[in-house]
Structure 1
Amino acid sequence: MNAIDPAIHIAAANIRLDGVTKSYGAMTVIPKLDVEFRAGEFTVVLGPSGCGKSTLMQMIAGLERVSGGKIIIGDQEVQDLEPRERGCAMVFQNYALYPHMTAFDNIAYSLKIAGLSKAERRVRVDIVAKMLGLTDYLDRKPGQLSGGQRQRVAIGRAIVREPAVLLFDEPLSNLDAQLRHDTRIELAELHRRIGATTVFVTHDQVEAMTLADRILILNKGEIEQYDTPKAIYHKPASIFVAKFIGSPPMNILAVSGDGAVLRLSDGQAIAECHLKGDFQLGIRPEDVVLDKSSTATALRAHVRYREDLGSHSILAADLSGTVVRLTTPFGSPPPDSNVLLLSCPPQRLHLFDAVTGKAIDGAFSARKKDRK
């Protein structure tokens, strides 16, 4: 461990947003928002384009003023402070490096502005460069570096300041698929090492699931769910979350309950349930089971198409007028006909309110404890 690692560990601070709002004239981008990001955690803010996630990030950094509410970092209110006074460092989507400066000078620039001596700047930049695998590239200018190397320079420029908070605004979106994968691993290892409070904005669910300690899912500026990746995947709080997380996304079916069973629109019974009324039923593609025993309770579906993806195959079938996707091991024999018999284990089912889209707990008595 070097001198920078424990310094960042010590500096790590929690971030609390109390009633924060953001409006542009008559347009409200973020309604009243209350949330806390825990010190030392890697939090991913996830959501579709236009949901307010980058605006939220910029308000924390001080690049956007709040319209109302408080932002508290550690024990200090910062909503009225300038960005340089907040103890945050930000990594942007476009890197924002000075093209006429070398990698060394880009990383060291904030230290120079802060008045550190040339010798101290050299020591700290060398530590960060070694941490990020940039030692051999410090004399190069950004135009002489690959996209991944430029991204690491931007990260180095952020962490060399030993910030209390690290902010990432979609930093991997400009990288190709392989480089995104490699950089995700580097970011995860870096966070485990330095333990900075990290807030990472993305629209990519893979980045969220692989990097986050906890995920904050935004929809039109409001919180849909804030929990661990495992909880969000296995117990989504709403249809929005259920369909946003997972590839393919969760299957959603319209059902009605008579107090004993839930039925599809064509009358097929799909599960026992004590509730009455109209609902939306969810099940993930990997949880749909091909019923090879042809039991009387099996659901009849008709194959639409099949995708072979190397590691597995995805079957799309018409079930009661809705396309349902299920995954099967790659190389498994295709169905003997275009008719599939399916079953849906009750412990894998999710029930949602038909109007609000919110999850309904306790609908299936057979739900296993590990999915609660």
Structure 2
Amino acid sequence: MIAIDTAIRAAAAEIELIGVTKSYDAKNVIIPPIDVSLRPGEFTVVLGPSGCGKSTLLQMIAGLERVSGGKIVIGGREVQDLEPKHRGCAMVFQNYALYPHMTVAENMAYSLKVAGVSKAERAERVGTVATMLGLADYLARKPSQLSGGQRQRVAIGRAIIREPGVLLFDEPLSNLDAQLRHDMRVELTELHRRIGATSVFVTHDQVEAMTLADRILILNKGRIEQFDTPKVIYHNPASVFVAKFIGSPPMNVLRVTGDGSHLRLADGQVVADFARKGDFQLGIRPEDITVGAGGSIRTEIRYREDLGSHEILETTIAEQNLRIAMPFGVEFDTTQTLQLSFPQARLHLFDADSGRAIPKAFAEGRPASVKEYQ
């Protein structure tokens, strides 16, 4: 028998969504037409707030939800009209979905038993997967005798034992505590590196997205805001929505006006040089703000959060909230007036109305069109 990790890597399939839509009636459109391609062997994280359509999108790929229009192509086959068992996908759910009366070994082997795989081969595959996931000592236990992390590993084992080309994860870590979530992220990263399945992972947790993904697909009301690597999304957000959604604390976004020479806040303070006129939204991450004598922007501390490794200062300028991330050990008085400067190389400019990013605005001294970004 071919090794399970080799078989899964060989089966890894491209997923294409072509004009895929989901609606329950004309007024209740969950996902407008969406076009996207997920590469074979890629770990894609679908990220967005509650109600944005990310779980619906995953369930349409799996076949648990019917599409309202468009095509789903997996490994070159149109599958939108196929039953889930014929799509070559395996799914890991949020609530584990284990059979409580079965042992770990029986849970993992159940799909093989239904498929008519011989008892000897089932035992061999269960042993291999259990060793891979650190479950070899728990095969005789029932789910009730396992920790949350162990149950999730059983659910993952039950999925990969079928040697699928596509692995689908629907918020699988949301029921775990913080330490277990961290440990499972490490385990999932190592597992993906070993088996190389095309993986689609749905979450609302940006830390999971940033640490697990090869690429992150960010959804907003069913529409794709940005689809790129974690590094690009963090440092070059395509919209105000992405800028505010990624980062902890998120990017500061301020309303500014260009007077032909500078960008100014509503109270007249200059935040950057800029040679065009008009209204814009200016973004800067809390860790990129410089505090010290010589800064042209003045504000007062409203609130402090000491997080041990660093400190967050809450301030207000021109009636807009601003957060500043400071390294550990810098002392501030809450009555102290701060002098701030915004390094121009770390600034992001967005259209005032659409919220879309204006690329290279500061490098070239002019706002580019949205088309230029895309």
* TM-score by shorter chain over 0.5: yes
State the alpha-carbon separation in 1 of the partners of residues 116 and 230 from structure 2.
Answer: 42
Whether the 8 Å contact between 2:286 and 2:323 is mirrored in structure 1 is yes
Residue 36 of structure 1 aligns with an amino acid whose one-letter code is S
Residue 266 of structure 2 aligns with an amino acid whose one-letter code is S
Whether the 8 Å contact between 1:347 and 1:366 is mirrored in structure 2 is no
Aligned to 1:275: 276
Query: 1:275 Cα deviation (Å)?
Result: 2.2
Measured against aligned partners, the alpha-carbon deviations of 1:105-139 in whole angstroms (never above 9, x if no partner) come to: 00000111111111100000100000000001110
Aligned to 1:315: 313
Residue 3 of structure 1 aligns with an amino acid whose one-letter code is A
Aligned to 2:15: 15
State the alpha-carbon separation in 1 of the partners of residues 192 and 259 from structure 2.
Answer: 51
State the alpha-carbon separation in 2 of the partners of residues 275 and 358 from structure 1.
Answer: 17
Instruction: Give secondary structure in 1 for the equivalent of 2:325.
Output: strand
Measured against aligned partners, the alpha-carbon deviations of 1:278-324 in whole angstroms (never above 9, x if no partner) come to: 01100000001102xx32x5210111011100110111111121121
Query: 1:54 Cα deviation (Å)?
Result: 0.2
Aligned to 1:177: 178
Whether the 8 Å contact between 2:279 and 2:352 is mirrored in structure 1 is yes
1:284-299 correspondence to structure 2 within 5 Å: 284-291=285-292, 294-295=293-294, 298-299=296-297
RMSD: 1.3
State the alpha-carbon separation in 2 of the partners of residues 336 and 305 from structure 1.
Answer: 7
Percent of aligned positions that are identical: 71
State the alpha-carbon separation in 1 of the partners of residues 16 and 275 from structure 2.
Answer: 41
State the alpha-carbon separation in 1 of the partners of residues 47 and 221 from structure 2.
Answer: 12
Whether the 8 Å contact between 1:275 and 1:363 is mirrored in structure 2 is no
Instruction: Give secondary structure in 2 for the equivalent of 1:19.
Output: strand
Instruction: Give secondary structure in 1 for the equivalent of 2:207.
Output: helix
Instruction: Give secondary structure in 2 for the equivalent of 1:184.
Output: helix
State the alpha-carbon separation in 2 of the partners of residues 84 and 337 from structure 1.
Answer: 64
Aligned to 1:361: 359
Residue 343 of structure 2 aligns with an amino acid whose one-letter code is P
State the alpha-carbon separation in 2 of the partners of residues 313 and 302 from structure 1.
Answer: 15
Query: 1:365 Cα deviation (Å)?
Result: 1.7
Aligned to 2:37: 36
Aligned to 1:344: 342
Whether the 8 Å contact between 1:274 and 1:363 is mirrored in structure 2 is no
Instruction: Give secondary structure in 2 for the equivalent of 1:175.
Output: coil
State the alpha-carbon separation in 2 of the partners of residues 99 and 307 from structure 1.
Answer: 44
Query: 1:336 Cα deviation (Å)?
Result: 8.4
Measured against aligned partners, the alpha-carbon deviations of 1:4-35 in whole angstroms (never above 9, x if no partner) come to: 11101100001000000001123110000000
Whether the 8 Å contact between 1:255 and 1:265 is mirrored in structure 2 is yes
Query: 1:362 Cα deviation (Å)?
Result: 1.7
Instruction: Give secondary structure in 1 for the equivalent of 2:20.
Output: strand
Residue 16 of structure 1 aligns with an amino acid whose one-letter code is E
1:160-199 correspondence to structure 2 within 5 Å: 160-199=161-200
State the alpha-carbon separation in 1 of the partners of residues 106 and 65 from structure 2.
Answer: 27
Whether the 8 Å contact between 2:256 and 2:266 is mirrored in structure 1 is yes
State the alpha-carbon separation in 2 of the partners of residues 86 and 151 from structure 1.
Answer: 23
1:220-259 correspondence to structure 2 within 5 Å: 220-259=221-260
Unmatched tracts of structure 2, length 5 or more: 366-372
Whether the 8 Å contact between 2:312 and 2:325 is mirrored in structure 1 is yes
Instruction: Give secondary structure in 1 for the equivalent of 2:51.
Output: coil
State the alpha-carbon separation in 1 of the partners of residues 326 and 22 from structure 2.
Answer: 46
Residue 323 of structure 2 aligns with an amino acid whose one-letter code is R
State the alpha-carbon separation in 2 of the partners of residues 224 and 149 from structure 1.
Answer: 35
TM-score under structure 2 normalisation?
0.95
With 254-263 and 203-212 compared, the bigger mean Cα shift is at 254-263
Aligned to 1:208: 209
Aligned to 1:121: 122
Instruction: Give secondary structure in 2 for the equivalent of 1:360.
Output: coil
Q: Structure 1 residues 106, 336: closer, same or farther in 2, change over 3 A?
A: closer
Provide the aligned length of Structure 1 versus Structure 2: 364
Aligned to 2:143: 142
State the alpha-carbon separation in 1 of the partners of residues 41 and 20 from structure 2.
Answer: 22
Instruction: Give secondary structure in 1 for the equivalent of 2:173.
Output: coil
Q: Structure 1 residues 317, 336: closer, same or farther in 2, change over 3 A?
A: closer
Whether the 8 Å contact between 1:279 and 1:353 is mirrored in structure 2 is yes
1:38-187 correspondence to structure 2 within 5 Å: 38-187=39-188
Query: 1:329 Cα deviation (Å)?
Result: 1.2
Unmatched tracts of structure 1, length 5 or more: none
State the alpha-carbon separation in 2 of the partners of residues 359 and 275 from structure 1.
Answer: 16
Residue 199 of structure 1 aligns with an amino acid whose one-letter code is V
Query: 1:73 Cα deviation (Å)?
Result: 0.3
Aligned to 1:25: 25
State the alpha-carbon separation in 2 of the partners of residues 276 and 214 from structure 1.
Answer: 36
Query: 1:330 Cα deviation (Å)?
Result: 1.4
State the alpha-carbon separation in 1 of the partners of residues 70 and 261 from structure 2.
Answer: 48
Asked if residue 5 in structure 1 is aligned to residue 5 in structure 2, the reply is: yes
Whether the 8 Å contact between 2:90 and 2:168 is mirrored in structure 1 is yes
Asked if residue 332 in structure 1 is aligned to residue 330 in structure 2, the reply is: yes
State the alpha-carbon separation in 2 of the partners of residues 65 and 305 from structure 1.
Answer: 49
TM-score under structure 1 normalisation?
0.96
State the alpha-carbon separation in 2 of the partners of residues 21 and 327 from structure 1.
Answer: 41
Q: Structure 1 residues 343, 158: closer, same or farther in 2, change over 3 A?
A: same
Instruction: Give secondary structure in 1 for the equivalent of 2:363.
Output: coil
Whether the 8 Å contact between 2:301 and 2:314 is mirrored in structure 1 is yes
